[in-house]
Copies of this chain bind each other. A is one copy, B any other.
Amino acid sequence: MKTQNPDYREQVRAIFDKAPFIADLGLVLSDLGPGWCDTDLVVAPKHLQQEGYVHAGVQATMADHTAGGAAGTLVRSNEMVLTAEFKINLLRPALGDRLRCRATVLKPGRTLIVAESEVYAIRDGKEKLVAKATVTLAPVEKGK
C-alpha cells in the first residue's frame, strides 16, 4: 500500500506517545509500515478480569488502537483517524505473559479505512490467536 505522508512513522508514533490511556495500559508500538502496525503488551495483574484472563476490554483496546496505527500510516500529514466502529470476536480465553497484535489495512479509502487486527497471547513461548477484530476508521482533518 502507498502512504501519502513521508513522515508517517513519526505521526503514528505520536498517537501512541500522546494517548494517556495507551501509556497507562502499557501498550507499546513495536513496528509499522505502510498499511500495517504491530504492538506488544506485557501482561500485568491489572489487565485481568475476574477469572484471571486478560479482560476483553484490554484486547479490544489493543485491536482498536493498533488498527488506528495501521490506518494512520496511510492518511495525509494534516489528517488523523477516528474509529467509527469495530467488532471483535474473543476466540479463546487470553492467558499469557504477553499479548501481541498485528493490524493490517484491508481497504484504504478517502472516507473510510477498514483494518483487521489479530491479537495473540504468548504463553510458555507459544503463540495463540485469542481475538480478531474488524475496525472501520474515518480519516478526519486535524484540529477540526
Contact = CB atoms under 8 A, between A and B. Distances in A.
A25 B55 CA distance: 12
B87 A86 contact: yes
Chain multiplicity (copies): 4
A99 to B, nearest CB: 13
Main secondary structure of the interface of A (DSSP, over half): mixed
A88 B84 CA distance: 9
A65 B49 CA distance: 9
Interface residues of A, number: 48
Interface of A: 14-15, 18-22, 24-25, 45-51, 55-58, 60-62, 64-65, 80, 82-93, 106-107, 111-112, 114, 129, 132, 134, 136, 138
